[in-house]
């Protein structure tokens, strides 16, 4: 990897602050080496006040950053994975799920619901990398699809914020099938006149990027976010190609035409508000 | 013999399960009876048998798309290029005549020797390959030609240029496009159905697998490396995520299994081709009479319903 510690898409990540390098002060920015206090970082929307590095944000914190106060109403919170393969690697999948749920307080790697952003109604679908690397299994696919349907029912908008290492391997082929499932849901949203604003955060890779996240009417990315179909390690190992310094990063994707804009986190809420306003007046 | 029996059973079960709207005890009793029989057969399924399919699916002599095209179609005319950047050899596309009717065939293609394999990047397509596929499928739909895709790839090509040219977006848009094709579509996994690179061509009215094909979210080695941190655990990984055709049928991901000659498709490509031809013709016959609206509605409902969920 060109920038060690910067790009890590291991789906085994379970720490709540996956960016802290080992062996150093836990609150050290890996980009500029400055130290920070937890509450200071939260206040700055988890953007390093010194160098602007964007740290990972959990789903609920993201919702608090984007939605108007008290406007978010969660939906389909009761959905859970069913382990149809009775998958067992080093540990049973059920055990991993239970552990992820107790560590994160989330039912799966996405939280969806109705929200207002600066007074504009939308369905907000926010992924959380700390739940099994934000991997997409049946529950993530279903909740994303239902968010599209809930929005389509009133000709509205979906704002998705993705963070994912790819497919949930423990659900085997059914995790792959979440790709056409979410694609189908976005397509029906479009047919109903709705809009998808897709926000890509670090990292958005694999099956999530190769399905709904790439079908946004507008695609925004956070600075420095890795957005590639194959992860840098896979590319390096499979092809033995030398990876460019900015491989798969949002900045490179903007240059190659795969995203509409890179938006710094402090400007994200205002940007989404402006886009929602533009699409509202269309209909 | 047991295998033939199982294939027959699964095929009938898949057909019966597809007609859920028809009520009646006769049908549900029949489904129950078939399921009981399958249960008995399934007990024999071992990790070794799953791995055997993995090996057969990757066998170097296994027929590729063009091997089937030349045996099944008449008047084959290959179409080249994505009309943007280049002609990706990892995906072939064209028009031909099947049973006297024009159809489009789009499929992954690898090579038989080192030079051709390099040219076709081992059947791993670039975004341009998926854009060519989309172009030809949309062309076929405009003219009312049914579409058959033959899926056989380890996955989409994981390279720097492929990423720069928009691999993820091309795969996403290929799926979206396939959901809108107002003609009958059949996808058959004929070898390795690997990950997003496979599903990009497999959003069809009927998705079939050859008996020894595999369809999976990741290669066994890739899964083993991530979950066991050891690629040598591939056999255990395959046993855990079950990429074989009977399991895919059981999970509702595919609609039927196409039998292969004893010992695998490579032992008798002519026989394999005639069995494939038979399956495609049978499914097309069921689909051609349906109104486009109904095709689209059913196809969308099928993919929208994928997955298994629980609730707390």
Q: How far apart are the CA of A249 and the nearest CA of chain B, in angstroms?
A: 10
B6 vs B305, higher pLDDT: B305
Q: Which residues contact B85 (CB under 8 A, 6 or more apart)?
A: B128, B165
Domain boundaries A57-282, CATH class: alpha beta
The residue behind tokens 């560590």 is A103
Residue A178 has pLDDT above 80, yes or no: yes
State the sign of the Cα–Cα–Cα–Cα dihedral A133, A134, A139, A142: negative
pLDDT band at A281 (very low <50, low <70, confident <90, very high): confident
Residue A248 with chain B: CB contacts under 8 Å: 163
- Where do the domains of chain B lie? 1-44, 47-293
Q: Report yes or no: A52 and A264 within 8 Å, Cβ to Cβ.
A: yes
Quote the percentage of chain A above a pLDDT of 70.
91
State the sign of the Cα–Cα–Cα–Cα dihedral B68, B70, B72, B75: positive
B119 vs B15, higher pLDDT: B119
Residue A198 CA to residue A192 CA, distance in Å, equals: 18
Residue B124 CA to residue B89 CA, distance in Å, equals: 9
Q: How many CB atoms lie within 10 A of CB B210?
A: 29
Q: How far apart are the CA of A47 and the nearest CA of chain B, in angstroms?
A: 27
CA quadruple B186, B190, B192, B193: dihedral, nearest 10: 10
- Does any CB of chain B come closer than 8 Å to the CB of residue A88? yes
pLDDT band at B209 (very low <50, low <70, confident <90, very high): very high
Q: Report yes or no: A147 and A188 within 8 Å, Cβ to Cβ.
A: no
Residue B273 CA to residue B265 CA, distance in Å, equals: 8
Q: pLDDT at position A13, please?
A: 41
- Specify the 3-state DSSP secondary structure of A137: coil
pLDDT band at B3 (very low <50, low <70, confident <90, very high): low
Q: Report yes or no: A241 and B159 within 8 Å, Cβ to Cβ.
A: yes
Residues 36-65 (A) with a CB less than 8 A from some CB of B: none
Residue B85 with chain A: CB contacts under 8 Å: none
Whole-model pTM: value is 0.90
What ipTM does the predicted assembly reach?
Answer: 0.91
**By mean pLDDT, which of A37-46, A172-181, B219-228, B284-293 is the weakest?**
B219-228
Q: How many CB atoms lie within 10 A of CB A23?
A: 6
Task: Write the pLDDT tens digit of every residue in A61-107.
Answer: 999 999 999 999 999 999 999 888 999 888 999 999 999 999 999 99
Residue B304 with chain A: CB contacts under 8 Å: 145, 181, 184-185
pLDDT band at A220 (very low <50, low <70, confident <90, very high): very high
**By mean pLDDT, which of A203-207, B66-70, B248-252 is the weakest?**
B248-252
Region A156-174 average pLDDT: 96
Least Cα distance to A225 among A4, A35, A9 occurs for A9
What residues form DSSP beta bridges with A80? B310
Closest CB to B223: pick one of A12, A81, A169: A169
pLDDT band at B151 (very low <50, low <70, confident <90, very high): very high
Residue of B nearest to A84 (CA): B308
- Specify the 3-state DSSP secondary structure of A132: helix
Q: pLDDT at position B303, please?
A: 97
B124 vs B33, higher pLDDT: B124
Q: pLDDT at position B24, please?
A: 37
Give the tokens for residue A278: 């533009």
Least Cα distance to A214 among A232, A191, A197 occurs for A197
Residue B303 with chain A: CB contacts under 8 Å: 177, 180-181, 183-184
Q: Report yes or no: A17 and A55 within 8 Å, Cβ to Cβ.
A: yes
Residue B204 CA to residue B79 CA, distance in Å, equals: 21
Residue B168 CA to residue B308 CA, distance in Å, equals: 25
Residue of B nearest to A230 (CA): B158
Mean pLDDT score of chain B? 90
- Where do the domains of chain A lie? 57-282
Q: Which residues contact B134 (CB under 8 A, 6 or more apart)?
A: B170, B173, B174, B177
Q: pLDDT at position B311, please?
A: 79
Q: pLDDT at position A43, please?
A: 94
pLDDT band at B40 (very low <50, low <70, confident <90, very high): low
Region A134-153 average pLDDT: 97
Closest CB to B241: pick one of A172, A179, A239: A172
Strands A261-262, B185-194: pairing kind: unpaired
CB contact under 8 A, A142 and B173: no
Task: Write the pLDDT tens digit of every residue in A237-262.
Answer: 888 889 999 999 999 999 999 999 99
Residue B254 CA to residue B303 CA, distance in Å, equals: 11
Strands A79-81, B309-311: pairing kind: antiparallel
Region A130-138 average pLDDT: 97
Region B275-298 average pLDDT: 96
Residue B130 CA to residue B204 CA, distance in Å, equals: 15
Residue A170 with chain B: CB contacts under 8 Å: 241
Residue A213 with chain B: CB contacts under 8 Å: 168, 172
Region B147-168 average pLDDT: 97
CB contact under 8 A, B160 and A243: yes
Task: Go through chain A and tell me how many residues it has.
Answer: 283
Closest CB to A210: pick one of B168, B226, B251: B168
Q: pLDDT at position B37, please?
A: 58
Residue B36 has pLDDT above 70, yes or no: no
Helices B167-178, A178-191: crossing angle, 10 deg rounding: 70
Helices B47-57, B234-241: crossing angle, 10 deg rounding: 100
Residue B121 with chain A: CB contacts under 8 Å: none
What is B47-293's CATH topology?
2-enoyl-CoA Hydratase; Chain A, domain 1 (3.90.226)
Quote the percentage of chain B above a pLDDT of 90.
79
The residue behind tokens 């206090």 is A37
- Does any CB of chain A come closer than 8 Å to the CB of residue B240? yes
B13 vs B27, higher pLDDT: B13
Q: pLDDT at position B31, please?
A: 65
Region A8-12 average pLDDT: 48
A273 vs A15, higher pLDDT: A273
Q: pLDDT at position B1, please?
A: 39
CB contact under 8 A, A173 and B243: yes
Residue B111 has pLDDT above 70, yes or no: yes
Whether residue A203 is preceded by a cis peptide bond, meaning omega within 30 degrees of 0, is: yes
Q: Report yes or no: A221 and B210 within 8 Å, Cβ to Cβ.
A: no
Q: Give the DSSP H or E segment for A149.
A: helix A138-153
The CA distances from residue A162 to A15, A192, B45, in Å, are 18, 23, 38
């Amino acid at each position: 990897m060109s920038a060690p510690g910067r790009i890590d898409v291991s789906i085994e990540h379970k720490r709540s602050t996956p960016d802290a390098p080992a062996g150093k002060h836990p609150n050290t920015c890996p980009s500029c080496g400055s130290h920070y206090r937890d509450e200071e970082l939260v206040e700055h929307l988890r953007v390093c006040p010194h160098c602007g590095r964007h740290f990972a944000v959990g789903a609920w914190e993201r919702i608090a950053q984007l939605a108007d106060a008290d406007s978010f109403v969660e939906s389909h919170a009761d959905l859970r994975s069913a382990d149809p393969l009775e998958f067992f690697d080093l540990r049973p999948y059920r055990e991993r799920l239970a552990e992820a749920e107790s560590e994160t307080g989330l039912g799966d790697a996405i939280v969806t619901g109705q929200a207002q952003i600066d007074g504009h109604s939308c369905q907000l679908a926010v992924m959380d990398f700390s739940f099994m690397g934000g991997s997409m299994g049946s529950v993530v696919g279903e909740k994303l699809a239902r968010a599209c349907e809930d929005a389509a029912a009133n000709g509205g908008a979906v704002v998705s914020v993705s963070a994912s290492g790819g497919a949930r391997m423990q659900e085997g082929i059914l995790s792959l099938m979440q790709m056409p499932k979410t694609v189908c849901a976005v397509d029906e949203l479009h047919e109903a006149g709705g809009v998808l604003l897709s926000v890509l955060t670090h990292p958005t890779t694999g099956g999530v990027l190769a399905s709904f996240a790439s079908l946004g009417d507008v695609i925004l990315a956070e600075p420095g976010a890795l957005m590639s179909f194959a992860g840098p390690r896979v590319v390096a190992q499979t092809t033995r190609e030398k990876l460019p310094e900015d491989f798969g990063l949002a900045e490179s994707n903007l240059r190659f035409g795969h995203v509409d804009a890179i938006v710094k986190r402090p400007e994200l809420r205002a940007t989404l508000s402006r886009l929602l306003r533009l699409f509202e007046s269309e209909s | 013999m047991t295998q033939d029996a199982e294939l027959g059973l699964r095929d009938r079960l898949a057909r019966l399960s597809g007609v859920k709207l028809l009520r009646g005890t006769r049908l549900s009793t029949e489904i129950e009876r078939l399921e009981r029989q399958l249960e008995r057969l399934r007990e024999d399924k071992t990790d070794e048998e799953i791995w055997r399919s993995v090996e057969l699916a990757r066998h170097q002599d296994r027929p590729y798309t063009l091997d089937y095209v030349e045996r099944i179609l008449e008047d084959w005319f290959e179409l080249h290029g994505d009309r943007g950047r280049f002609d990706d050899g990892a995906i072939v596309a064209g028009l031909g005549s099947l049973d006297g009717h024009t159809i489009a065939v789009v499929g992954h293609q690898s090579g038989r020797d080192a030079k051709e394999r390099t040219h076709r990047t081992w059947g791993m397509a670039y975004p341009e390959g998926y854009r060519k596929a989309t172009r030809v499928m949309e062309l076929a739909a405009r003219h009312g030609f049914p579409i058959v895709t033959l899926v056989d790839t380890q996955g989409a090509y994981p390279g720097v240029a492929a990423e720069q040219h928009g691999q993820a977006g091309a795969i996403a848009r290929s799926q979206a496009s396939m959901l809108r094709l107002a003609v009958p579509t059949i996808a058959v996994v004929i070898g390795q159905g690997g990950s997003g690179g496979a599903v990009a061509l497999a959003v069809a009215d009927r998705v079939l697998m050859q008996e020894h094909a595999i369809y999976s979210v990741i290669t066994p080695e890739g899964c083993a490396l991530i979950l066991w941190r050891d690629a040598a655990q591939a056999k255990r990984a395959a046993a855990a995520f079950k990429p074989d055709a009977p399991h895919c049928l059981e999970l509702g991901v595919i609609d039927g299994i196409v039998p292969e000659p004893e010992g695998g498709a490579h032992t008798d490509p002519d026989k394999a081709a005639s069995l494939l031809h038979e399956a495609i013709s049978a499914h097309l016959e069921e689909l051609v009479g349906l109104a486009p609206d109904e095709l689209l509605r059913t196809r969308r409902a099928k993919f929208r319903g994928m997955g298994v969920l629980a609730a707390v």
